[in-house]
Amino acid sequence: MRLFFAVLLDDQTRQHIALVQQAMKRALAGQRISWVKPENLHLTLRFLGELDEEGLKQALEAAQVVARQRAPFRFVARGAGVFPDMRRARVLWVGVEEPVEPLFQLAHHLERELQRRAFPPEDKPFRSHITLARIKEPPPAQVIQSLMDYLPKEPLGAVEVRSFVLMQSILRPDGSLYTPVQEFLLSG
């Protein structure tokens, strides 16, 4: 199974982000872009990749340990950006406003517990983001820059994080299919 840990969004935040996506989509009509379906919007805590049965068992154990020790928190979704940069935009995302500390702590705690169970360390630093779209051929930087005009000044949502989930990702030509495998309630 191809798996990752994620924080899911409430319906209101999802709807606000979907409206921004629609406006950006119109502005980018004709470009080779794959938009994340609103029901699939999420914040990835840790990508795990393909796991066998033993790997899955270890990942579930790590998540249970983390969830027992961490308390619920809230983050504010606001602003947007691209990875890796404006000129080579591949991933278009919505950001997380300061303080991002509780999200980082959650991601780092998961990372620690996974490494204790012999998972290879994540090589990229954790960057909290909600992916809106994956861009196949980057348009000019000014086109990407102009997309920022479609963002409202106010936050896109205040997300109460009471749990995180282990998600299964099935790769499909028309976009990945994400299915929650197990939810972990933050009870610390």
Catalytic residues: 42, 129
Nearer to ligand 3AM, 178 or 184 (CB): 178
Cα(40)–Cα(119) distance, rounded to whole angstroms? 26
Candidate list 7, 9, 35, 44; residue touching ligand 3AM; CB under 6 A: 44
Candidate list 4, 35, 75, 164; residue touching ligand 3AM; CB under 6 A: 4
Cα(112)–Cα(75) distance, rounded to whole angstroms? 22
Q: Kind and range of the H or E element at 11?
A: helix 11-27
Cα(51)–Cα(31) distance, rounded to whole angstroms? 34
Candidate list 27, 37, 47, 65; residue touching ligand 3AM; CB under 6 A: 47
Candidate list 17, 169, 184, 186; residue touching ligand 3AM; CB under 6 A: 169
Nearer to ligand 3AM, 4 or 35 (CB): 4
Q: Which residues contact 143 (CB under 8 A, 6 or more apart)?
A: 27, 28
Residues in the site for ligand 3AM, rule: CB under 6 A? 4, 44, 47, 91, 131, 169
